[in-house]
Structure 1
Amino acid sequence: MKAEKDKVVVITYDLTEGNADGEMIQLVDSNEPFEFLFGHHNVLPQFEEELGGKEVGYKFSFGIKADDAYGEREAGAVVELEKAVFNIEGEAMQEDLLQAGNVLPMVGPEGMPMDGVILEVKDTTVVMDFNHPLAGIDLHFEGEIIDIREATSEEISNEGIF
């Protein structure tokens, strides 16, 4: 069976920064492999291109430039918000949640969910970075396809959200 549309592809991989010798970003092993519904935009387009048509046992090693992955970092994605934005039903958010380094789920201007990293907490404002954590980083994947199976009709109707 080949990696193609409406197949569930199961892989293990090492994700490093820049190249195979770069700093480790993520390790996905056979104890908790990554599975995705092929052909449904659940992974980076170039990632899917690299695996398209391949079979179980295929070992891969490829890079994706930042522009083709999560893009470059954007200065405009770093914003300063009034602390009042973080009030929940009129109550101030717990101070221990408003700490530099914490990631908070937020809602963007068009109602889209997005995560922001707190960079700095000031007296009346909070500086947050809404860039993707991997923005500006060239990625290198090395791994293996360990299983491919037919997707269920439920998986297809849910667009592969597992």
Structure 2
Amino acid sequence: MKIEPQHVVSLTYDLYVNQENGEEGLVESATQEQPLTFIYGAGQMLPKFEEHLSTLSAGDQYEFRLTAEDAYGEYDNEAVASLPKEMFGTEEIPPVGSMLPLQDNQGNRLQGQVVSIAEDAVIVDLNHPMAGQALHFKGEILNVRPANEEELSHGHAHGADGHSGH
């Protein structure tokens, strides 16, 4: 079955990015035991990622690269925020390197990585961890099937076979 909008796609992937030494290194994988499963065309994946899969069917191998611009965007030096320590109340100040779930003024959820701790503030980088990086994907399409009504109403897939497993 060919990949089409409102179809659930399960796939494996290995994601490579350029390391500091100039070589490509593996940073993330989805395996046959733990595949990536999503509703194609539902806006969950990078648009260019889906575009590269648009002609494929179950059993097909794929390999493609996305520029930083087509992936998570260029690194934005302005996207670093200073959060007042009072914001954390009595909670412990998160350590450098930890990821914080945040919300912007429009209610959009985003992740910020703590990059340093100042005397009265926590400095957080709001760029996606892979901003500014070209992505190299390799993998295989494992399964393609029409999404069921429940999945379409929820806006996400319930696993490779359509059951949520909850």
Query: Which consecutive residues of structure 2, in runs of 5 or more, have no partner in the other structure?
Result: 159-166
Is the contact made by 2:104 and 2:110 (CA closer than 8 Å) also made in structure 1?
Answer: yes
- CA change 1:116–1:161 in 2 (3 A) is farther
CA distance in 2, matches of 1:54, 1:27: 20
Is the contact made by 2:8 and 2:157 (CA closer than 8 Å) also made in structure 1?
Answer: no
Shift of 1:18: 4.5
Is the contact made by 1:18 and 1:63 (CA closer than 8 Å) also made in structure 2?
Answer: no
CA offsets 1:30-80 (integer angstroms, 9 cap, x no match): 110001101111111111111113111110000000001110111111111
Query: Which consecutive residues of structure 1, in runs of 5 or more, have no partner in the other structure?
Result: none
Q: Secondary structure at the match of 2:69?
A: helix
Q: Displaced runs of 4+ in structure 1, greater than 4 A?
A: none
CA distance in 2, matches of 1:38, 1:50: 12
**What is the correspondence of 1:25-64 to structure 2 with a 5 Å cutoff?**
25-64=27-66
Give the TM-score taking structure 2 as reference length.
0.88
Is the contact made by 2:37 and 2:157 (CA closer than 8 Å) also made in structure 1?
Answer: no
Q: 82, 91, 94: which is aligned to 1:93? A: 91
Give the TM-score taking structure 1 as reference length.
0.90
Residue 109 in structure 1 maps to residue 105 in structure 2:
yes
CA distance in 2, matches of 1:49, 1:8: 15
The letter of the residue matching 1:10 is S
CA distance in 2, matches of 1:161, 1:120: 37
Is the contact made by 2:64 and 2:136 (CA closer than 8 Å) also made in structure 1?
Answer: yes
Determine what percentage of the aligned residue pairs are the same residue: 35
